[in-house]
Structures are given as C-alpha cells and as structure tokens.
Copies of this chain bind each other. A is one copy, B any other.
Amino acid sequence: MGTPLPRDPIADAQRNWERHGWGDVAAPMAAITAIMRTQQILLARIETVLKPFGLTFARYELLALLSFARSGALPMNKASALLQVHPTSVTNAVDRLEKAALVARSPHPTDGRTTLIELTAEGRTIAKKATAALNSEVFGKSGFGDDDVDHLIRVLGAFRRDAGDFTEE
C-alpha cells in the first residue's frame, strides 16, 4: 500500500526460490503468487467502484446473478453453487442485501427447506447501474491486451475445470 517498490517483490521471491535449490517450482510459485496479488488489486478497484452504490463485490455478484435469472429469483443453494462460495457466505450477503431492500427472501412454493431470493425493483436498478459502472471503470480498463484476455480465459478455464469447478466445455 502506498508508494511503488523499486523492484518486483515476486520476481525477487522467484530468485530466492532458485537460489535455495527450488528452481523446479520457482516459476509456478511466482505465477501463483502473481495471481494472488492481481486478484487483490482487481478486487480493490472493483470495491472502489461499487462503494458509491453501497455494494461490495460479494453482494454485487449476487445481484448480477439474480438479474440474469429467467424468473428473477433463485434458491439460495443454487446461488451458492453458481457463485462457488460457501452457503453461509450467501446467507451473509442476502442478510445485508435484504436489509438494504435490494433483495427479498420468500419461501419456496413446494420445498419447505428452500428459500428463494428475489430482486426488488430497486435491486434491479442498482444492479444495472453498478454493472454499467464496473463495465466502464474496471472491465473496460483492465489493461490486458485482447490476446492476453483470451489466453487468461483459456488457461484459467482449463485450470478451473481441472480443479472440479465444472465438467463440460
């Protein structure tokens, strides 16, 4: 946080790994560490853009997901699966979004265990505005070249598939 470092700390770490005889895994270590740090930077940008809307990334993701659902509503367990987060994280996000009147809980018509989450009118409006802001301020200014974007999607997609996120494609 703060001023730029004179040198890339991850490149330094990679050199340290090599110097200690772990040259065979130094590069993957550096790549993985770079992914962790890049995520941190991107998350900070996203949170900055969402803050004026009273949203965090976790809450925005849920809103965006709901806004694309055919019926406009989803069971919590479905949201948990699609967002790939723990069910309790969804409960947490829904609690806060409900308090902000952006979503509403309703009982599932046939399964008493299930709770449906539904966008309110205001939730839909906020979702649309927040998406527009993210598109113009973050996704539209990622700094990645088109080729790099394609490469990232392909490589990370294969990684996620191998990790068990999904099966097809």
Q: Chain A interface (Cβ within 8 Å of chain B)?
A: 1-11, 13-14, 16, 22, 24-25, 27-32, 34-43, 64, 68, 80-87, 131, 134-135, 138-140, 142-144, 146, 148-153, 155-169
Asked if A140 and B25 make an inter-chain contact with CB atoms under 8 angstroms apart, the answer reads: yes
Dominant secondary structure at the A interface: helix
Which of B25, B139, B164 makes the CB contact (< 8 A) with A28? B139
| Contact in complex: A28, B140 (CB < 8 Å) | yes
Note all chain B residues with C-beta closer than 8 A to A64. Answer: 13
Excluding A4-B167, A7-B169, 14 further A-B contacts by CB distance (< 8 Å) are: A2-B81, A3-B81, A6-B166, A8-B160, A11-B169, A24-B140, A29-B135, A31-B144, A35-B152, A36-B42, A37-B165, A40-B84, A148-B155, A151-B155
Number of copies: 2
With most chain B CB atoms within 10 A of its CB, the pick from A5, A11, A82, A153 is A153
Q: Check if B166 sits within 8 Å of A82, measured CB to CB.
A: no
Q: How far is the CA of A78 from the CA of B115 in the complex (A)?
A: 48
In the complex, the answer to whether B157 meets A34 with C-beta atoms within 8 Å is yes
With A6-B168, A155-B151, A161-B8 known to touch, is A1 a contact of B85 (CB < 8 Å)? yes
B86 touches A34 (CB 8 A): no
Q: Name 16 A/B residue pairs within 8 A (Cβ), A-sorted.
A: A5-B166, A6-B166, A8-B165, A10-B157, A11-B169, A16-B68, A27-B146, A28-B142, A28-B144, A28-B149, A31-B144, A34-B157, A35-B39, A143-B158, A143-B162, A148-B155
